[in-house]
Amino acid sequence: MTEETQSINSDMPQPADLVIQARWVIPVRPRGQALEDAAVVINGGRIIDVLPVAQLAARYQVTQTVILNDHVLVPGLINLHTHAGMTLMRGLADDLPLMQWLNEHIWPAEKKVISEGFVHDSTLLGCAEMLSGGVTCFNEMYFYPEAAAEAAIQAGLRANLGLIVLEFPTSYAHDAEDYLQKGLNSRDNWRGHALLSASLAPHAPYTISDETFGKVLTYADQLGIGIHTHVHETQDEISQSIAQHGVRPLQRLANLSLLGPNIVAAHCVHLQPEEMSLLAEYGCHVAHCPTSNLKLASGIASIAELLMKGVNVGIGTDGAASNNRLDMFSEMRMAALLAKGTSGDAAALPASQALEMATLSAAKALCMEEKIGSIEVGKMADLVAVRIADSEILPCFDPISHLVYVAEREQVSHVWVAGELRYQKLAGQTGVYADIEPAELKEIIEEWQPKLNQYKA
């Protein structure tokens, strides 16, 4: 332990609901620190102390203690860009060019199959997958946000739900105004739930008119909420914007006053240096989705450069139809590896930074930096334990590096959200969710897969 450890001093032992003792605690802030044999003390869902195990007994009267001798304890991972509502379309059509994938498979399936029930079930399946992979919060964008809210509440996952806006009709809404009103009404129904928050989610510059962006901006300002959109995912959408609007999409967003510290721009694969500066200047946040960008052949985002310019970058899985896993362990590793391989610098995007992107940077992007993203006193106890004990992943010389380059989500053993245990997988056992039954997930798959089969590749 170092002197930077924060603790509350008191002469009398204080009460605490829960103490988690771990071989290593990685607080994320300060970056690169791994506290050995440390304990995280939790009361009322919040972290009230981080201290050496040896000092615990004198200071706290503890209701429950979880001892994790072979584990790394990290802040819950935050999936900064996903469409959990698409989880049932996992692998529906792979290895196809983007437009064929969309036109012949994804859009027809969405047109015929999507409903409130589908989105609920698909999101619940996605939540289960994410929980088992150490995700405690996700930034969602899909139709029927109310159905997604219900699934997130059942799973016990923190969610920032995108109130999706498009210009064209779907089963969910008929025009931009209808999308906006449905989204805002939906938000009214779950607003105030401790685990839920909302962003306005205009789908992308190529699907949203200037007028609608204007409305989005007004609502975002009035309600004090964020904006979540796709930006510069493909070269095509940039060419199209130049043809249609005379400027590249990011410049168009700047002209429309959309850029600011409350916007999360997903993808940002194709950026010119001055566009990186623009993002930095306005304090915009980027959701890097490396696997999806490769799989759909969109390209490789220049993340090392973006970070050097001072842009805040989190990591997202994108949806299961284009990844095909909602797995933040894979994404952290992919982000770190691609940054090295494309920059020619093996020291680029080190493990500690990849972990920070998947936690604290994403919390910043969601304007939740005060609440989640690191193991610090005062923050919510969104925590993940990762078991480093199987011979297949040993030896372990550096727990942070191990977490990114060696461990996988199968090593996740415990997931707490606001101090509540939401998922647990003990050594050699099957994982168990607090509030999701395996039979429920099985039924979901059995119900929907036959309806989707006709759209598969």
**Min. distance of Cβ 6 from its own copies in angstroms?**
27
Give how far Cα 455 sits from Cα of 62, 116, 141, 346, 376, Å: 54, 19, 22, 42, 47
Residue type (1 letter), 141? M
Which of these, 382, 383, 384, 402, lies nearest to 394 by C-alpha position?
A: 402
Which residue, 258 or 444, has its beta carbon nearer to its own copies?
444
Which residue, 12 or 397, has its beta carbon nearer to its own copies?
397
The answer to whether the CB of 36 falls within 8 A of the CB of 13 is no
**Min. distance of Cβ 97 from its own copies in angstroms?**
5
Q: Which stretch binds its own copies (CB under 8 A): 216-224, 238-246, 307-315, 405-413?
A: 405-413
**Binds its own copies by CB under 8 A, chosen from 90, 248, 252, 267:** 90
Q: What is the DSSP letter of 380?
A: B
Residue 133 found at the interface with its own copies (CB under 8 A): yes
**Min. distance of Cβ 434 from its own copies in angstroms?**
15
**Min. distance of Cβ 114 from its own copies in angstroms?**
16
Task: Give the integer Cα–Cα distance in Å for 204 and 237.
Answer: 9
The answer to whether the CB of 151 falls within 8 A of the CB of 123 is yes
Q: What is the DSSP letter of 142?
A: E
Task: Give the integer Cα–Cα distance in Å for 20 and 30.
Answer: 20
Residue corresponding to tokens 């997202």 = 316
Residue 380 found at the interface with its own copies (CB under 8 A): no
Among residue numbers 288 through 327, which ones bind its own copies (CB under 8 A)?
291, 293-300, 323-325
Residue 335 found at the interface with its own copies (CB under 8 A): no
Which of these, 359, 360, 416, lies nearest to 42 by C-alpha position?
A: 416
DSSP alpha helices (H): ranges in 93-209? Answer: 98-100, 107-113, 116-132, 145-155, 176-190
**Min. distance of Cβ 453 from its own copies in angstroms?**
7
Find the angle CA(95)-CA(97)-CA(99) to the nearest 5 degrees.
Answer: 135
Residue 368 found at the interface with its own copies (CB under 8 A): no
Q: Which stretch binds its own copies (CB under 8 A): 121-129, 140-148, 243-251, 364-372?
A: 121-129
Which residue, 186 or 411, has its beta carbon nearer to its own copies?
411
**Binds its own copies by CB under 8 A, chosen from 345, 370, 378, 435:** 345
**Min. distance of Cβ 324 from its own copies in angstroms?**
4
Residue 449 found at the interface with its own copies (CB under 8 A): yes
Which residue, 111 or 442, has its beta carbon nearer to its own copies?
442
**Binds its own copies by CB under 8 A, chosen from 328, 406, 415, 417:** 406
**Binds its own copies by CB under 8 A, chosen from 30, 44, 108, 341:** 341
Q: Which stretch binds its own copies (CB under 8 A): 14-22, 134-142, 211-219, 392-400?
A: 392-400
**Binds its own copies by CB under 8 A, chosen from 1, 96, 280, 421:** 96
Task: Give the integer Cα–Cα distance in Å for 144 and 373.
Answer: 27
Task: Give the integer Cα–Cα distance in Å for 115 and 42.
Answer: 40
Which of these, 200, 108, 101, lies nearest to 145 by C-alpha position?
A: 200
> What phi-psi label fits residue 363: left (phi over 0), alpha (psi between -120 and 50 degrees) or beta?
alpha
Residue 346 found at the interface with its own copies (CB under 8 A): yes
Q: How many residues bind its own copies (CB under 8 A)?
A: 70
**By rule CB under 8 A, what string of x and - marks binding of each residue 246-285 to its own copies?**
----------------------------------------
Residue 117 found at the interface with its own copies (CB under 8 A): no
Residue 102 found at the interface with its own copies (CB under 8 A): no
Name beta bridge partners: 82: 140
Tokens of 205: 């510059």
Which residue, 212 or 353, has its beta carbon nearer to its own copies?
353
DSSP alpha helices (H): ranges in 347-453? Answer: 351-357, 360-365, 399-405, 438-452
Which of these, 186, 45, 138, 203, lies nearest to 368 by C-alpha position?
A: 138
Local structure of 107: helix, strand or coil: helix
Q: Which stretch binds its own copies (CB under 8 A): 71-79, 155-163, 238-246, 424-432?
A: 424-432
Query: Across the chain, how many H-helices and E-strands are there?
Result: 17, 16
Task: Give the integer Cα–Cα distance in Å for 212 and 329.
Answer: 36
Which of these, 381, 288, 368, lies nearest to 328 by C-alpha position?
A: 288
**By rule CB under 8 A, what string of x and - marks binding of each residue 35-74 to its own copies?**
----------------------------------------
**Binds its own copies by CB under 8 A, chosen from 6, 115, 207, 342:** 342
The answer to whether the CB of 415 falls within 8 A of the CB of 133 is no
Residue ranges binding its own copies (CB under 8 A): 88, 90-98, 101, 125, 128-129, 132-133, 291, 293-300, 323-325, 336-338, 340-348, 350-351, 391-398, 401-402, 405-406, 408, 410, 427-430, 438, 441-442, 445, 448-449, 452-453, 456-457
